[in-house]
Amino acid sequence: MKPAPFAYARARSLEHAIELLGESEARVLAGGQSLMATLNMRLSSPHLLVDINHIHGLSEITRRGAAVEIGALVRHAQAENSELIRREAPLIARALPHVGHPAIRNRGTVCGSVAFADPAAELPACLLALGGEVEMAGANGRRVVKADEFFRGLFETALEPSEVLTAIRVPAATPDTRVGFAEFSRRLGDYAIAGLAACARAYPNGLGDVRLAFFGLGVTPVRARLAETALTGTLDEERVATAVAALEQDLTPHDDVQASGKLKKHLAGVLLRRVIQQLAEPL
Amino acid sequence: MRVHTQDIALTVNGETVRHTVDARKSLVDFVRDDLFLTGSHVGCEHGVCGACTMRVNGVTVRGCLMLAAQCDGARVETIEGVSDSGELSDLQRAFEQRNALQCGFCTPGMLLTAQELFAGNGAPTREQIREYLSGNYCRCTGYHAIVDAVETVAKQRNAQK
């Protein structure tokens, strides 16, 4: 279908974008790879699109202290080809080939995936697994929200309609960082039926700081906190079995067009076993 | 009162084009309806099928998920331009010889996507070819012939290097 009529404005600067977003029913247009699809299907009909693609300074991937910062206009393809991402944000590097298809990754942005917050999308789960943070700018200045507080509900985040998501930051990997990523989808690049992004730290006595973020299994990416606790320590079959069993309480997936809740829960256990194998290996 | 149109100037297949477009008009509708370049096809209109694949500033995009209004100053290439330049004539020949197209609706998108694969990976495996083409639907061939044609051209081009 064709989208309902809207006006278009090209923001000259971040301040200009925020000013434009002060109007009612305005939406930010960055990569547009989710937004345009929802407009074409008339699931949404904003009055104004604020194109931020020409704002300078938002296309950088940089090391900031102990974190890797990804600017609002960094395309998926740019991140996929980034040596810094490969080296210091390996979980994101593993997830990116699963995000959409090449032509979509050429336009779509990492931050756009986070802002859109599709519950079956890979990158919101990666941000949550890494314990990252989101930076936003609005009329009252900038603020930062932790990933654990950012995802609120179905397509609902801490981002206000009048704000621009300016960057995400994730802790840079260190030699003791362990990551794992796996998902099931009908076709490579489609939204996942079920997926898991995981991060942990290797200690002399086994794994610690385990963070498991499942996607496609709830209205937001979901942490499996009981399974996280169960995996702390030396990995053996008993611990793995306990963690998989804990998913029964951690996750309450509903049926959707792709799979029943029961199947999704089964797949979550399969994913967890696969990801644990990755967590056992140094980067 | 905000206007719902946008003046744009861009190059399409090397020619400078100036137009006033509706803000909501997609890039693929613009090249088809206003420029009469109908090689890029409109399929699903939400980014799933890949029939509208074209190049903007050198990389493939979904023509249905980008606005014409966003293309002010851009360099757009459609299958017409890429075909005329001869850049992928060997790929077109291989598609024909291997019967890698039947109705042809997906073919422009398949060709442009395969060409982009070669640019980044000169010797793709069959698995890598399938992965790279995963965003382009074909409802006729069952894909095997397409993968065969792409693989054949990858080998030919490597032999010529």
Please check the confidence at residue B128 and state whether its pLDDT lies above 90: yes
What's B94's DSSP letter? H
- Note whether A103 contacts B132, CB cutoff 8 Å: no
Does residue B95 sit in the same domain as residue B143? yes
Does residue A100 sit in the same domain as residue A181? no
Does residue B114 sit in the same domain as residue B152? yes
Does residue B33 sit in the same domain as residue B51? yes
Interface test with B, best of A28, A40, A118 (most B CBs within 10 A): A40
Tell me the CATH number at B61. Answer: 3.10.20.30
The set of residues, in sequence order, having a beta carbon less than 8 Å from that of A199 and lying 6+ positions away, is A91, A129, A130, A131, A177, A178, A179, A180, A209, A210, A211
Does residue A181 sit in the same domain as residue A272? yes
Cα radius of gyration (chain B): 16
Q: From residue A14, how far is each of A62, A64, A138 by CA, in Å?
A: 19, 21, 9
Closest chain B CA to residue A8:
B23
Does residue B142 sit in the same domain as residue B116? yes
pLDDT at site B1: 57
Of the three residues B33, B52, B82, the one that is the final residue of a domain is B82
Does residue B73 sit in the same domain as residue B94? no
Does residue B105 sit in the same domain as residue B90? yes
Does residue A250 sit in the same domain as residue A167? no
Q: Are A128 and A197 in contact (CB under 8 A)?
A: yes
The rounded mean pLDDT for chain A is 97
Q: What is the pTM of this model?
A: 0.96
Closest CA to A216 of A180, A165, A182: A182
Of the three residues A171, A196, A226, the one that is the final residue of a domain is A171
Please check the confidence at residue B87 and state whether its pLDDT lies above 60: yes
- By the CB < 8 Å criterion, does B137 face chain A? no
B50 neighbourhood in chain A, CB within 8 Å: 101, 103
A7 min Cα distance to partner chain B (Å): 4
pLDDT at site A168: 98
Does residue A112 sit in the same domain as residue A38? no
Does residue A157 sit in the same domain as residue A190? no
Does residue A195 sit in the same domain as residue A234? yes
Q: Please tell me which of the candidates B50, B53, B65 has its beta carbon nearest to residue A33.
A: B65
Give A257-261's long-range contacts (Cβ < 8 A, gap of 24+).
A258/A186, A258/A193, A258/A216, A259/A193, A259/A194
A1 neighbourhood in chain B, CB within 8 Å: 45
pLDDT at site B3: 78
Does residue B32 sit in the same domain as residue B77? yes
pLDDT band, very low/low/confident/very high, at A2 (cuts 50, 70, 90): very high
In a domain, residue A252? The reply is yes
Tens-digit pLDDT profile for residues A165-201: 999 999 999 999 999 999 999 988 888 999 999 999 9
Of the three residues A146, A171, A196, the one that is the final residue of a domain is A171
pLDDT at site A20: 97
In sequence order, what are the beta bridge partners of A186? none
Helix, strand, or coil here: A32? coil
Tens-digit pLDDT profile for residues A113-167: 999 999 999 999 999 999 999 999 999 999 999 999 999 999 999 999 999 999 9
For the record, the structure tokens of B110 come out as 């398949």
Q: How much of chain B, in percent, has pLDDT values that exceed 90?
A: 96
In a domain, residue A161? The reply is yes
A135 min Cα distance to partner chain B (Å): 25
Mean pLDDT of B33-59: 98
Closest chain B CA to residue A5:
B24
Of the three residues B25, B60, B82, the one that is the final residue of a domain is B82
For the record, the structure tokens of A214 come out as 């499942």
Of the three residues B82, B115, B149, the one that is the final residue of a domain is B82
β-strand pairing of A222-223 with A206-215: antiparallel
Helix, strand, or coil here: B141? coil
Does residue A152 sit in the same domain as residue A69? yes
Does residue A118 sit in the same domain as residue A88? yes
Does residue B90 sit in the same domain as residue B72? no
Does residue A272 sit in the same domain as residue A181? yes
Can you give the residue range of the structural domain that contains B149? 86-160
In a domain, residue A2? The reply is no
Q: Where are the alpha helices (DSSP H) in chain B?
A: 27-29, 79-84, 89-97, 107-120, 126-132, 144-160
pLDDT at site A93: 98
In sequence order, what are the beta bridge partners of B157? none
Does residue A165 sit in the same domain as residue A181? no
For the record, the structure tokens of A249 come out as 């309480």
pLDDT band, very low/low/confident/very high, at B158 (cuts 50, 70, 90): very high
Helix, strand, or coil here: A262? helix
DSSP string, A238-256: HHHHHHHHHHHHH--PPP-
Q: Please tell me which of the candidates A48, A51, A104 has its beta carbon nearest to residue B135.
A: A104
Please check the confidence at residue A90 and state whether its pLDDT lies above 90: yes
- Count of structural domains, chain A: 3
pLDDT band, very low/low/confident/very high, at A23 (cuts 50, 70, 90): confident
In a domain, residue A30? The reply is yes
For the record, the structure tokens of B157 come out as 């081009």
Token pair 């194109």: residue = A51
Does residue A118 sit in the same domain as residue A78? yes
- A164/A142 Cα distance (integer angstroms): 9
pLDDT at site A181: 98
- B18/B39 Cα distance (integer angstroms): 20
Report the residue count for chain A: 283
Does residue B92 sit in the same domain as residue B78? no
pLDDT at site A24: 83
Tell me the CATH number at A34. Answer: 3.30.43.10
- Count of structural domains, chain B: 2
Please check the confidence at residue B147 and state whether its pLDDT lies above 70: yes
Can you give the residue range of the structural domain that contains A122? 61-171
Does residue B98 sit in the same domain as residue B73? no
Please check the confidence at residue A8 and state whether its pLDDT lies above 90: yes
In a domain, residue A43? The reply is yes
Q: HEC states along A120-188?
A: CCHHHHHHHHHCCEEEEEECCEEEEEEHHHHEEECCEECCCCCCEEEEEEEECCCCCEEEEEEEECCCC
Does residue B116 sit in the same domain as residue B67? no
Q: How much of chain A, in percent, has pLDDT values that exceed 70?
A: 100
Tell me the CATH number at A185. Answer: 3.30.390.50
- By the CB < 8 Å criterion, does B47 face chain A? yes
Is residue B142 left, alpha or beta, with left meaning phi > 0 and alpha meaning psi from -120 to 50?
left
Does residue A15 sit in the same domain as residue A67? no
- B118/B110 Cα distance (integer angstroms): 12
B45 min Cα distance to partner chain A (Å): 6
Tell me the CATH number at A105. Answer: 3.30.465.10
In a domain, residue A237? The reply is yes
Exposed, middle or buried by CB within 10 Å (0-12, 13-18, 19+), for A66?
A: exposed
Tens-digit pLDDT profile for residues B3-23: 799 999 999 999 999 999 999
pLDDT at site A187: 87
